[in-house]
Amino acid sequence: MSIEDIKRKHEDQLMQLPNVTAVGIGESDGKEVIKVFVTHKVPESDLQPQEIVPKKLEGWETDVEEIGVVTQQTE
């Protein structure tokens, strides 16, 4: 399966995790990865096992990136 297929397959599940605001595809260390954007990073020790973003999804690595709170800009 392509990285796009795996992202789509797992996106709804990832969006249910604490602090997750978006899921996309990006690059880390020259490799394509599934990007998981969060408002703020939390140590794994502070999360329940089911709240942790998996390191890989069906062979594709994930990369958690802290982006803060996303708000809509008005004109």
Q: For 12-64, what is each residue's pLDDT tens digit?
A: 999 999 999 999 999 999 999 999 999 999 999 999 999 999 999 999 999 99
pLDDT at residue 70 tops 80: no
Q: Give the residue with greater pLDDT, 72 vs 63.
A: 63
Sequence-distant (≥ 6) Cβ neighbours of residue 1 within 8 angstroms: 9, 58
Domain 3-66 belongs to what topology?
A: GMP Synthetase; Chain A, domain 3 (3.30.300)
Whole-model pTM: value is: 0.87
Sorted by where each begins, the domain ranges of the chain are 3-66
Please write down the HEC assignment for all residues of 1-30. CCHHHHHHHHHHHHHCCCCEEEEEEEEECC
d(CA 60, CA 33): 6
- Give the closest residue to 57 by CA, choosing from 10, 24, 2: 10
**Amino acid, res. 72:** Q
Assign 68 to helix, strand or coil. coil
Q: Give the residue with greater pLDDT, 70 vs 35.
A: 35
